[in-house]
Amino acid sequence: MDLSTDQLEWLRFANAGLSPRVAHAVLDRFGSPEALFAAPDHEVAAVPELTPEQFERLLDPARIPTVEQCTKFDELGVSVITRGMESYPRLLVDVIDRPPALFLRGDLDERDQFSVAIVGTRSPSPYGREIASMLARDLAEMGFTIVSGGAVGIDTVAHTAALRAGGRTLVILGCGLDVRYPAGNQQLFKEIVTENAGAILTEFPIGATPEAWRFPARNRVISGISMGVIVVEAGRQSGALITAGTAGEQGRDVMAVPGNIDQPMSAGPNALIRDGAALITCAEDVVDALGVLVLQRTSAAIPIDRTEGLPDPQRRLLALLSLVPRYIDILAAEAGMSISEASAQLTLLELEGLVHRQPGGCFIRSLRV
């Protein structure tokens, strides 16, 4: 075992199973799990949001990571991304009930800020499989990262299609990273990690079993880490509709693929469309719904991050750009530069293919970096 103190303390903190609201309140008070567990008991108990039962659970010695937990953590090569870290998913930062920490296998990439979730039933029809596969493949070829929950059915189809297209995909689990659930997807998860094609993420600690209550929590991360959510086939009580609901609450775009009105699995998407979700028939509809621009479509995603090694002024400008056009004077002001300096740096980025100039003095970020 070779876990750092920081990793051990975050694992212990996750073992306590606090709600995100309470967890953030505790961390706001102490700054880190390490400082929390070093503090006197009376100071911990004084956190207003912490109930007596939660206090006991938080400091229970039984919550200290076991040798088995640490061994699996080490063997799987698990990383911890915590709030405040630069690597914490940018889209999750503004989600109120975001996880204070994410455990992951694989790596997150700067490109993953351009993520779209595809979710749906565990028992899709041939139509549902075909549409989910088409959307995931085409969006991956456009450079979007495909997000889903790793379940059998639509989730698996979406992850697999993105992987086969040479794109990136993120799997958000409702259990610990060591739990073989679903058992049939373990080879898929291994491919995603070993081929550097994305990551397997969860807010739950090593050993956490896939209990029913964890999946709605998982769903808010699926939507929160994505620009928008596409529902492909889902019954009226489907977890995919929970994901769509949290997406709407988080200000994400909700999209749905229409289906035959006499099919039970069409009830969910059709109801979403009736209530205002964007109707999706192809990847171009997704791009339109998100209100972004994709200038070029290639046959495979480029697996190289060309932002490494950029000078600081260029990195600052790139961080301010998205797929929505922005005026150069606004970019210059937010980057703390003169317009002439920003123009020079943007020209260099344009020559590298990292940004694209639009009419009217606007720029967008290249979807493929």
At 221, is the pLDDT very low, low, confident or very high (cuts 50, 70, 90)? Answer: very high
Is residue 299 predicted with pLDDT exceeding 60?
Answer: no
Which pLDDT does position 303 carry in this prediction? 41
Write down the pLDDT at residue 357: 87
Residue 318's closest CA among 94, 116, 111, 88? 111
Which of helix, strand or coil describes residue 27? helix
Residue 28: its H or E element: helix 20-30
What pLDDT score does 297 carry?
A: 54
What is the per-residue pLDDT for 304?
A: 46
The candidate with the shortest Cα–Cα distance to 104, out of 141, 76, 128, is 76
Return the higher-pLDDT residue of 161 and 319. Answer: 161
- Looking at residue 366, its pLDDT comes to 73
Q: Which of 257, 221, 238 is nearest to 135 (CA)?
A: 257
Per the listing, tokens 């300096």 go with: 341
Tell me the pLDDT tens digit for each residue of 88-121: 999 999 999 999 999 999 999 989 999 999 999 9
Run of H or E including 169: strand 169-172
pLDDT for position 360: 85
Please state, rounded to an integer, the average pLDDT across all residues of the chain. 92
Check whether the bond before 182 is cis (ω within 30° of 0). Answer: yes
pTM of the predicted model, to two decimals? 0.84
- Phi/psi at 117 (nearest 5 deg)? -90, 140
Q: CA dihedral defined by 11, 13, 15, 19, rounded to 10 degrees?
A: -130
Chain segment 120-137, per-residue pLDDT in tens: 999 999 889 999 999 999
Which residues, including other chains, have CB under 8 Å from residue 75's CB and lie 6 or more apart?
none
Q: pLDDT digit string (tens) for 23-74?
A: 999 999 999 999 999 999 999 999 999 999 999 999 999 999 999 999 999 9
In 3D space, the residue among 362, 296, 366, 346 whose CA is nearest the CA of residue 110 turns out to be 366
Q: Which residues contact 225 (CB under 8 A, 6 or more apart)?
A: 89, 91, 92, 112, 115, 117, 147, 170, 172
How many CB atoms are closer than 10 A to CB 316? 17
Q: Which two tokens stand for residue 308?
A: 């490494």
Count Cβ atoms below 10 Å from residue 194 Cβ, excluding itself.
10
List domains and CATH numbers for the chain.
1-65 (1.10.150), 106-290 (3.40.50.450), 312-365 (1.10.10.10)
